[in-house]
Amino acid sequence: MRILTLIRQVLDAQEGVHIAANQIDRTGRKLVMDTMDEYGVEEALRLRERGAQAEIIAVAVGPAGVEEALRSALAMGADRAIHVEADVELDAIALSSVVAQIARSEGAELILCGGQQSDWDSQALGAATAERLNWPQATWTRTLELSGSSLSGKHDTEYGVESFEVQLPAVITTQQGLNEPRYPTLPNIMKAKRKQIRKDSLEQYGVQPKLRRKGVVVQTTQRLRKIFDGKDALTAAAQLVNSLRNEAGVIQ
């Protein structure tokens, strides 16, 4: 069976967010595979280690630098990769068209992707891809098992945790806690050198994005930072309650 794991490359969590040329500045910044996607790659590897006969294909759409993230996926253990070279950024709905076409042409049966993107905070990619393929979806997955062609697991919903079962083919989106992504070992890093990264161009996929980003602004809320010394709990508590009542006006 073929498993597709979707990879996006985002700013490292430690990097500050800055604007340059009306865009979020990525030049010279540390870029990494989105941790949400790492959970996907890791889960695919675990499914295989637990017995699934699977070829794991890492897929990414983006500029040349994205190849580094694909190499990480290969170094973790994915078998091969597909890099759709694109210099424009696609919104999740548009991107899902590319993913769905690849899934169809590769005959994939399972797609794993991040529950939310760490940069654009979108949660739509998995669901949109599932719809294009007419597959079911399970989002915010906490645990996953594969038995034959039946997936089972637990996922988070609005009200709590649900146990589910779904038949392949399906889209599963990940979240923190699904697993602990492995570090690429040195032997696997060296092996990954020989693994294939197929290069496609975005034009091959005929995507028509329907959203336009007009601008970005970095939010800096100026906070008051009035911090009281709590050594004398009663005094500090009184000061705080007074501020919240009479200054901020948020309590009675």
Partner 1 sequence: MSTFAASFTAKRTSGGSFLIEDLLPEDIFTPEDFTEEQKQIAQTTSQFADEQVLASIHEIEAKNYEVTKRLMREAGDLGLMSVDVPEEYGGLELDKVTSTLIGDRISVSGSFSVTFMAHVGIGMLPVVWYGTSQQKEKYLPRLASGEWIASYALSESSAGSDAMNIKTRATLSPDGRHYILNGEKMWISNAGMASLFTIFAKIDGEKFTAFLIEAGTPGLTVGKEEHKLGIRGSSTCPLILADCYVPVENVLGEVGKGHQIAFNILNVGRYKLAAGAIGASRNALRDAIRYGRERIAFGKPITSFGLVQEKIAESAAGIYAGEAVVYRVVGAIDAGLASVDKSAPDYSMQVQKAIEEFAVECSILKFWGSEMLERVVDHVLQLHGGYGYVEEYPAERAYRDARINRIFEGTNEINRLITTGWMIKRAMQGRLALLPAIKKVMDEVMAGPGERNGFHGTLADERALLANAKKLGLFCAGVASQKFGMELADQQEVMGMLADILAEVLVLDSVVLRTAKMAGRNALGVKLAKYYAARSMRVIVNAAERVIGAVAEGDMLRTQMVILRRLTKYDPINTVALGRDIASAMVEAGRYTIQRSVA
Partner 2 sequence: MILLVMSHSNGHLSKASYELAAVAERLEQDGPRTALVVGNGAGQAASEAARIADRVLVADEPELAHYDPEVWSAVVAQVARETHAHTILVSATRNGREYSPRVAVKLDAPLLEDVVSIHCDGGSLVATRYCFLTRVTETIESTSPVTVVTIKPGAFPVATAAEQSGEQAAVEVVVPQPRLKVVHKASEATDRVPLGEADIVVAGGRGLGTPQGFTELIGGLADQLGAAVAATRAVVDAGWRPYAEQVGQTGKTVQPKAYIAVGISGAVQHLSGMNRSKVIVAINTDPEAPIFNVADYGIVGDVQKIVPAMIQELRR
Show contacts with partner 1 in window 130-149 (CB under 8 A).
Answer: none
Kind of pairing, strands 137-147 and 150-156?
Answer: antiparallel
* Residue 115: contacted member of partner 2, partner 1, none (CB under 5 to 8 Å, by partner type): partner 2
> Is residue 14 part of the contact set for partner 1 (CB under 8 A)?
yes
* Residue 1: contacted member of partner 1, partner 2, none (CB under 5 to 8 Å, by partner type): none
**CB burial string 158-193: b at 16+ within 10 A, e below:** eeeeeeeebebbbbbbbbeebbebeebeeebeeebe
> Is residue 68 part of the contact set for partner 1 (CB under 8 A)?
yes
Spatial strand order in the sheet of 55-62:
150-156, 137-147, 170-174, 110-114, 2-7, 55-62, 80-85, 197-201
* Residue 89: contacted member of partner 2, partner 1, none (CB under 5 to 8 Å, by partner type): none
> Is residue 75 part of the contact set for partner 1 (CB under 8 A)?
yes
Give residue 208's region: left, alpha or beta (phi > 0; psi -120 to 50): beta
Under rule CB under 8 A, which residues in 82-101 are in contact with partner 1? none
Binding segment for partner 1 (CB under 8 A), chosen from 132-140, 186-194, 207-215, 240-248, is 186-194
CA atoms within 13 A on the CB side of 221: 3
Binding segment for partner 1 (CB under 8 A), chosen from 99-107, 145-153, 187-195, 196-204, is 187-195
* Residue 75: contacted member of partner 2, partner 1, none (CB under 5 to 8 Å, by partner type): partner 1
Q: How far is the CB of 215 from partner 2 (least distance, A)?
A: 5
Of residues 85 and 162, the one with the C-beta less far from partner 1: 85
> Is residue 45 part of the contact set for partner 1 (CB under 8 A)?
no
- What is the DSSP code (8-state) at residue 64? T
Our CA angle for 206, 95, 13, nearest 5°, is 145
